[in-house]
Chain A
Amino acid sequence: GEDVEQSLFLSVREGDSSVINCTYTDSSSTYLYWYKQEPGAGLQLLTYIFSNMDMKQDQRLTVLLNKKDKHLSLRIADTQTGDSAIYFCAESLPNQGGKLIFGQGTELSVKP
């Protein structure tokens, strides 16, 4: 079946690294995405990774994909108070028209 799971909360100090984890059940996932939702706003795509990649780096963001364990992580280096938000992991499956399966979201709280 299709299931994406994330822990609900993460709290870090400003300047530390944050690591947000996600597990998924469908091994046929083609793309995996990280979306960010700031208070009072919709979701905004942060980054994505194609399933044949292990890692993708984009400035302060590093995405790691372990296909064997069906585990995805998002590392934010030098976390800032402006990074406080809810982070959603999502997967897309082949031949399902681009339908995205989302996790519950991880609320990241950055303390000064």
Chain B
Amino acid sequence: ETGVTQTPRHLVMGMTNKKSLKCEQHLGHNAMYWYKQSAKKPLELMFVYNFKEQTENNSVPSRFSPECPNSSHLFLHLHTLQPEDSALYLCASSQRLAGGSSYNEQFFGPGTRLTVL
């Protein structure tokens, strides 16, 4: 496997279910990100991890719970979601969080299409 992979690619869940999204990067990067992509809206940054430490939580509801056990893996645990949480969830990675004015290319996975019924 190369690049950034995400599983599952599609997920349908009820509002009372608990599920997890998984992201794995094979690029040797140290920063990982979760984004939410809804139609016709800007990508919303949800969480950022740098060297396994969470550095940003962008006012995300507690029904979304991230976990980063090591620099290669990132999870998003979901519970008691709402229909408005239906979206494409994208994972990305980069070399590290860049300080100052450094260039920061992020590499994206294909996303998990989540539908909440």
- CB within 8 Å of B: which residues of A? 4, 8, 30-31, 33, 35, 40-45, 48, 50, 88, 92, 94-95, 97-105
Contacts and interface: CB of A to CB of B under 8 A. Distances in A.
Contacts of B74: none
B104 A41 contact: no
Contacts of A8: 40
B87 to A, nearest CB: 13
Interface stretch (B62-70, B77-85, B107-115): B107-115
A98 B48 CA distance: 10
Contacts of A48: 103, 105
A14 to B, nearest CB: 25
A109 to B, nearest CB: 15
A102 B36 CA distance: 11
Contacts of A102: 42-43
A-B CB proximity, top 7 nearest: A98-B104, A42-B108, A98-B98, A97-B97, A30-B101, A102-B43, A43-B108
A101 B92 CA distance: 14
B48 A97 contact: yes
Contacts of A30: 101-102
Contacts of A99: 45, 48, 56
B55 interface: yes
A43 B56 CA distance: 21
A23 B11 CA distance: 35
Given A42-B4, A42-B109, A99-B48, A94 B103 contact: no
